[in-house]
């Protein structure tokens, strides 16, 4: 099991508050007492470091940084120009096999250790999302964006994926804007997403669309 700590305040405005070292230690103790075995943790930088240190003290596991990710929040939506040919559409039941193949490819791209197939789909983090495709004028999907269920007026866009041979044409920006518009139309009042902090291309893209950085998160893996 992997622990992930996020904040969804009742005020409907995203806040990120770090755990103190004492709080992180108390949480680690509680999880151990309840029999949880963690393979890692993802959290805001200070919280992740404090929890990783606490977990190491209490279990002997060795933490190592797997990836640094940047939390971004939408300000003013600014669609990219020019818009690529084609348009957006919702992903339906007939697309399920194709959707699973793209989720597998996305997981492989970002190093997620997850099996995505018909037998495991319902138990993956990809299952309870609404998906949007960007397709070419002939109806061929070229990019996708997922949207998590709304919580306290907030929706997180995840994942965004374009096959490697189709990148560089503006499809990711177009499909992200389409997914954001769908979430806003459904009642969301705050949109967020994560980018790989070390990827200048994706960070520049989402900055142009209107997603400004909030804070950085770190994902640690635990090795026994």
Instruction: Tell me which H or E stretch contains 189.
Output: none
Residues 123 and 170 in one domain: yes
Q: Count the neighbouring beta carbons within 10 Å of the beta carbon of residue 199.
A: 13
Task: Report the C-alpha gap between 182 and 42 in whole angstroms.
Answer: 28
Residues 65 and 118 in one domain: no
Residues 155 and 201 in one domain: yes
Q: Mind listing the pLDDT tens digit for each residue in 116-151?
A: 999 999 999 999 999 999 999 999 999 999 999 999
For 75-86, give the DSSP string. -S----SSPPSS
Residues 18 and 110 in one domain: no
Residues 199 and 123 in one domain: yes
User: To which residue do tokens 């600014």 refer?
Assistant: 78
Helix, strand, coil percent content, the chain, rounded in steps of 5: 35, 30, 35
Task: Report the C-alpha gap between 191 and 172 in whole angstroms.
Answer: 16
Task: Report the C-alpha gap between 197 and 205 in whole angstroms.
Answer: 13
Q: What is the pLDDT of residue 111?
A: 83
Which residue range(s) make up the domain with 54?
2-70
The CATH number of residue 93's host domain is 3.40.630.30
Residue 134 lies in a domain: yes
Q: What is the pLDDT of residue 6?
A: 54
Q: What is the pLDDT of residue 16?
A: 66
Residues 165 and 103 in one domain: yes
Query: Helix count (H) and strand count (E) of the chain?
Result: 5, 9
What is the model's pTM? 0.85
10-residue averages of pLDDT along the chain (224 residues): 53 66 95 93 94 96 94 95 96 97 95 91 95 98 98 96 96 98 97 94 95 94 91
Residues 66 and 91 in one domain: no
What's the token pair of residue 143? 């990019």
Q: What is the pLDDT of residue 90?
A: 97
Residues 116 and 143 in one domain: yes
């Amino acid at each position: 099991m992997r622990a992930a700590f996020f904040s969804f305040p009742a005020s409907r405005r995203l806040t990120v508050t770090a755990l103190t070292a004492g709080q992180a230690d108390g949480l680690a103790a509680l999880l151990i007492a309840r029999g949880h075995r963690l393979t890692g943790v993802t959290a805001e930088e200070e919280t992740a470091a404090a929890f990783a240190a606490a977990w190491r003290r209490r279990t002997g596991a060795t933490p190592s940084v797997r990836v640094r990710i940047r939390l971004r929040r939408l300000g003013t939506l600014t669609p990219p120009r020019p818009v690529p040919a084609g348009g957006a559409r919702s992903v339906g039941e007939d697309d399920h096999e194709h959707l699973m193949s793209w989720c597998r490819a996305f997981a492989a791209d970002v190093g997620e250790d997850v099996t995505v197939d018909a037998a495991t789909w319902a138990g993956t983090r990809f299952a309870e999302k609404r998906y949007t495709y960007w397709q070419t004028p002939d109806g061929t999907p070229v990019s996708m964006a997922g949207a998590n269920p709304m919580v306290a007026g907030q929706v997180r866009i995840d994942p965004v994926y374009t096959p490697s041979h189709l990148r560089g044409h503006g499809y990711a920006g177009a499909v992200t804007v389409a997914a954001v518009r769908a979430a806003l139309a459904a009642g969301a009042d705050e949109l967020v997403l994560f980018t790989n902090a070390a990827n200048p291309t994706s960070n520049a893209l989402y900055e142009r669309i209107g997603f400004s950085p909030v804070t950085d998160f770190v994902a640690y893996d635990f090795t026994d």
